[in-house]
Structure 1
Amino acid sequence: MLRIADTRTGHLVEIPAAPRRLLRSCVHLPAIATGTGTGIGPVHLRVPLVGDVLARTAELNGLQVVTVLTTPELTPDQTTALDRVMAVLGIHPPVVVGAHHPDAALGGPADVHVVAQGADIGDATGGGRIEVGRVGTVLLEEGVPDPGHLLSPDRPDVLVPETADPLAVRLLLLHRPYATPVTVTGAALAEARRTLRQWRRQVADWAQEPSRPIPADLLRESHAALVDDLDVAAVLDLLADVAERSDVPSGAKFETFAHLDRVLGLDLVRDVGHQHIPERPAPR
């Protein structure tokens, strides 16, 4: 059972309505301002990201998912930029982009609409509604990479600098409830990068130990958080706690992180098999 807090009522609603096992999700890209560059800003990334987490959570719970992304009229450059930035943030591509009649693309009325907070989605009145909070950035202190470099798809030369990790943006946005506004700062991005490096290094180390099953309480707690209004922040806090627990075997830690990364999409197993092994001194 997957439940979301319908923004229009404030009540938890089950999606899709039982007993159907197909979730139809309609993600609405906010209107794009005209002016310099592509006009695609941070909130345009957070809305598809929440739609991605919704789809991943549904699939983890045995549902089939069809996702359609409705967009305003996009120029070719905007379309290319949007595709590129969704790819580097690990957002699974929707089955249709730019649909003006999403019901036809979905094969029926949407079960849920994912929209920017306060957005007008016209006559799309059926189904539950998830409103995604705004995203802002601030100017940074000297020597700290500008988060706009990672959030600006019209700057391909700095989209993936060697010293940064686009998935740090994903982690930073996921670490706040989806309805809560987020301000991206250099310090917050740096902390997200450190967390990803540490977790990937730990996961690679744990992978060398014998596999152990995920403890039942961890599995139950994490899945309960996800199905009750996509509480990804609680899952991230749980992983931070698991990483430090001495009573959870290394093999179980690996399985827990790998399993939950199916929803988080942070590529936590990326370094498995690539650990640095110190050279042994030559025998005398």
Structure 2
Amino acid sequence: MLRIADARTGRIVEIPSAHHHLLRICVHLPVIDNGIGAMHLRVLLLGDVLARTAELHGLQALTVLTAPDLPQEQVQALDRVMAVLGIHPAATVGAHHPSETSSASADVHVLAHGTGQQHTVGGVQIDVSQVGTAHPNEGGPGSLDAAAPEGTDPLAVRMLLLGHAYRTPVMVTGAALAEARRTLRHWRQLVADWAQESSRPIPADLLRQSHAALADNLDVPAVLDMLRRVEKDADVPAGAKFETFAHLDRVLGLDLAREVGHQRQVTP
């Protein structure tokens, strides 16, 4: 079972309900006025992390995406953004119709904070807090083009957003993105180095703590903090560090094994 704070009541609710093994998620995309912005990215990302967490806990997840009626170019832009941010495609995409079966039967509704409850019927409601950018006029308000210019790693945007609890506002700045990119490069190189060592099982306490954090209202920042500790823990074998990072990347979606097989060659 996963435990989520219902924005309607403030109470912690277990999902899915007892004896169910399918978690039905409905992601409600805010209105798109001037391109896909940072708030759209955060709502999409939260739905993706919820689905990934459910699957890590042995559940099936079905995600539907409701959005305003979009012109074809915005539909294509949305597909591109989801692809580069590692967001799994939704099973169905449609316009906002709260009474439709796919929305009305959802266990969880994911919305941008302040958009109201008019698009949800039943289920638990997750309100994703606001996200701003230091340069809101570049490439549209908080657009991916502004956040991750050509030649940089767009997954740094994913990492930056994952580093904040979903109910906490986020400001995307150049310095914060640069730090996220440095951490991603560093971790990917470490994972590639650890992959050359003999595989070792994930320590039971790390597995238990990480799964508990994710099950407790999607506490992804706690998981990232745990990985930072594991990285420096001399008592955890390299092979176990590799397995820990690879396992949790199933939820993080940061492509941490990207450099495996491409290690730096040392000349004798």
Give the TM-score of the pair, scaled to structure 2.
0.94
1:96-111 equivalent positions in 2, closer than 5 A? 96-101=92-97, 106=102, 109-111=105-107
Distance 1:119-1:189 versus aligned 2 partners, 3 A rule:
same
> Is the 2:30–2:40 contact (alpha carbons within 8 Å) kept by the matching residues of 1?
yes
Q: Counterpart of 2:227 in structure 1: which amino acid?
A: L
Corresponding residue for 2:191? 203
Q: Counterpart of 1:2 in structure 2: which amino acid?
A: L
Distance in 1, matches of 2:42 and 2:210, equals: 22
- Counterpart pick for 2:75 among 67, 76, 79: 79
Distance in 1, matches of 2:199 and 2:242, equals: 8
Distance 1:18-1:219 versus aligned 2 partners, 3 A rule:
same
Give 1:125 shift: 2.8
Deviates more, 1:216-225 or 1:122-131: 122-131
Distance in 2, matches of 1:98 and 1:107, equals: 10
The number of equivalent residue pairs is: 268
Distance 1:205-1:44 versus aligned 2 partners, 3 A rule:
same
Distance in 2, matches of 1:265 and 1:147, equals: 26
Corresponding residue for 2:218? 230
SS of the equivalent of 1:200 reads: helix
Give 1:39 shift: 2.5
Give 1:147 shift: 8.4
Instruction: Describe the superposition over 1:122-145 as per-residue Cα deviations: whole angstroms up to 9, x where unpaired.
Output: 2523000110011101149xxxxx
Give 1:97 shift: 1.2
Distance in 2, matches of 1:149 and 1:167, equals: 19
Q: Does 1:256 align with 2:244?
A: yes
Distance 1:108-1:42 versus aligned 2 partners, 3 A rule:
closer
Give 1:168 shift: 0.2
SS of the equivalent of 1:172 reads: helix
SS of the equivalent of 2:65 reads: strand
Corresponding residue for 2:227? 239
Q: Does 1:16 align with 2:16?
A: yes
Distance 1:47-1:246 versus aligned 2 partners, 3 A rule:
same
Q: Counterpart of 2:58 in structure 1: which amino acid?
A: G
SS of the equivalent of 1:98 reads: strand
SS of the equivalent of 1:256 reads: helix
Give 1:101 shift: 4.4
> Is the 2:39–2:131 contact (alpha carbons within 8 Å) kept by the matching residues of 1?
yes
Q: Point out where structure 1 has 5 or more consecutive residues left out of the alignment.
A: 141-145
* Structure exhibiting the larger radius of gyration computed from Cα positions: 1
SS of the equivalent of 2:13 reads: strand
Give 1:77 shift: 1.2
Corresponding residue for 1:152? 143
SS of the equivalent of 2:63 reads: strand
Distance 1:120-1:159 versus aligned 2 partners, 3 A rule:
same
> Is the 1:242–1:253 contact (alpha carbons within 8 Å) kept by the matching residues of 2?
yes
- In angstroms, what is the RMSD of aligned CA positions? 2.2
Tell me the percent identity: 65
Q: Counterpart of 1:263 in structure 2: which amino acid?
A: V
Q: Point out where structure 2 has 5 or more consecutive residues left out of the alignment.
A: none
- Counterpart pick for 1:269 among 252, 257, 264: 257
SS of the equivalent of 1:65 reads: strand
